[in-house]
Amino acid sequence: MNTSRQKGDQLERAVRAIELAVLRQSPGYHEKTVRIQGKKNFKSSAGVPHEVDIWVSVELAAGYEATFIFECKNWKRKVGKKEATDFARKIEDANAQRGFLVAATVTKGAEAIVKSDRRMEWLVARELSADEVPERVKRFYGVFSETIEDCYHIVQKEDSAAEAVDLTSAMFTVHGEPEDLVRYLRAWASQVVKPTSEGVHPFEAVRRYPPDAGLTLNGLPVKEISVSGKVRVSHIPGEVVSRFEVAKRGRVIECVVKFPNGTTVVMEDWQLLSQKG
């Protein structure tokens, strides 16, 4: 179960993704002139400390910069007058051109504060239902491959008799620098063997090295490496961790694939909405 902090972070990530997409659609967008920061702390001219969830700064020209700030409230209850008043102060102290209060619902008192401040706007946010998640997101998966039963043959001298080598203790260097032989071999095998269908697939691969390749094993140059074995391929389904729509801005769905080796892949599916009305 997500904590209130996690829910808040999810909405903030969604808003950041949407705003970045909005900015990238702008004809004048350039990464060097637009900065988006999360959880930015700043002080007013009087020294009052503040924190904003998202801070967007746009350099319009040399010496001219516009600031836009966002306050994200992923709450079940309505955002009240106090929160709206506090945000109005942040807009003033940040000297922001616009401030966006992102929330599902607000009280009448909070809405009155928003309407009374020409620089503040309430953006209605809602969590999408599972039925609104596109099929392409539901079907998203990651491909995880692991090499099994791998056997390596390393040639150093022509017509020399095969000798067993302890891969974990062998002295292996690349251009004079020590390298982990097991890691090197398996990284190479994973590069040359790339089946994507699920199941166990046999494979073989050979790589020959010129004299100046710089590979040595126990002091002798490596001329050829071959490998045979099997690769096990698994499809790891993604998990939708957040799905939000912000009125008049866009919607974004975040899907995460967690691989058995601890790595993750994040996919963001977003759609911009009309900003009219």
Report all structural domains of the chain as residue ranges with CATH numbers, in order of start: 4-129 (3.40.1350.10), 141-236 (no CATH)
Cβ–Cβ contacts within 10 Å for residue 163, how many? 7
What pTM does this model have? 0.77
Q: What is the distance between the terminal CA atoms of the chain, rounded to a whole angstrom?
A: 36
Nearest to 44 by CA among 102, 86, 100: 86
Distance CA 100, CA 85 (A): 13
Using the predicted structure, report yes or no on whether residue 276 has a pLDDT greater than 60. Answer: no
Whole-angstrom distance, CA of residue 73 vs CA of residue 106: 10
* Distance, CA of 262 to CA of 259 (rounded, Å): 6
Quick one: pLDDT band at residue 161, thresholds 50, 70, 90?
low
The letter for the amino acid at 184 is: Y
Q: What is the pLDDT of residues 21-59, one digit of tens each?
A: 888 777 766 666 888 999 999 999 899 999 999 999 988
By the 8 A CB rule, do 40 and 29 touch? no
Q: What percent of the chain has pLDDT over 90?
A: 68
Q: Count Cβ atoms within 10 A of the Cβ of residue 124 and give its class: 0-12 exposed, 13-18 middle, 19 or more buried.
A: middle
